[in-house]
Amino acid sequence: MGATRGLFITLEGVEGAGKTTAMDTIASHVRDLAMVPLVTREPGGTEVGESIRRILLDHADDAMCPETEALLMFAARAEHINKVILPALERGECVLCDRFTDATYAYQGAARALGYERIGALEQWVQGELRPDLTLVLDLPVSVGRGRAGERSAPDRFEQEQDTFFEQVRQSYLERAAADPGRMKVVDASQDPDSVARALRHILDHWLVAGN
């Protein structure tokens, strides 16, 4: 990536961790820092991507193969990268994405047991050199996230999975964050919303000062 491009920040965590809630905090902090935020999400973020999102989350496809699931995630991602993310980065904006490839490693690679190697091959093929500059992992016990998400709406195809599935997702995020601490920062998302927001602002400030 060229030196003049914007910043690519992603948010990760199990359902109900508070990603969508945290987006507002991060977007307003980014504005305070005189950058232009572009808030988007995966799977989705484009017309084709949102159609793929419906296929992925709908119950009509309960028996979908893990391979199909991973390929659909990357199909939506290819569209998103080329139509939204790269153009925004080239304009110098700060792209804030609710889930990205770390979620594919965690959900399809770990919890669906496809393995990291195959996800890595697709990552390389679809993304080339593009990786998030910073990834904020909102970490909390699965049962707490489930309790929060349960109050929201009927469970989608992922949300209906058992706790063991989400434990694997959580462990994958934590393992990968421990292996890549420069990029992936873990936040205790079980705290109250104000404390989570403060922790996020603190990380952003330190990370920007450190020269990312």
CA atoms within 13 A on the CB side of 147: 6
For the chain, percent helix, then strand, then coil, each to nearest 5?
A: 55, 15, 30
Beta pairing partners, 96: 9, 39
By DSSP bridging, strand 134-139 and strand 94-98 are unpaired
For Mg ion, what does the binding mask look like between residues 96 and 135, x meaning CB under 5 A?
Answer: ----------------------------------------
44 assigned binding-site residue: no
User: Which residue in 10, 14, 41, 7 sits closest to 174, CA to CA?
Assistant: 14
Site size for ligand ADP (CB under 6 A): 16
Stretch of residues binding ligand ADP (CB under 6 A), selected from 10-18, 25-33, 54-62, 116-124: 10-18
143 scored as a contact of Mg ion (CB under 5 A): no
Tokens at 30, concatenated: 């980014």
For Mg ion, what does the binding mask look like between residues 11 and 50, x meaning CB under 5 A?
Answer: --------xx------------------------------
User: Which residue in 24, 3, 5 sits closest to 88, CA to CA?
Assistant: 5
44 scored as a contact of ligand ADP (CB under 6 A): no
Q: Which of 29, 112, 148, 185 binds ligand ADP (CB under 6 A)?
A: 148
Q: Which of 193, 198, 205, 212 binds ligand ADP (CB under 6 A)?
A: 193
- Binding region: 13-20
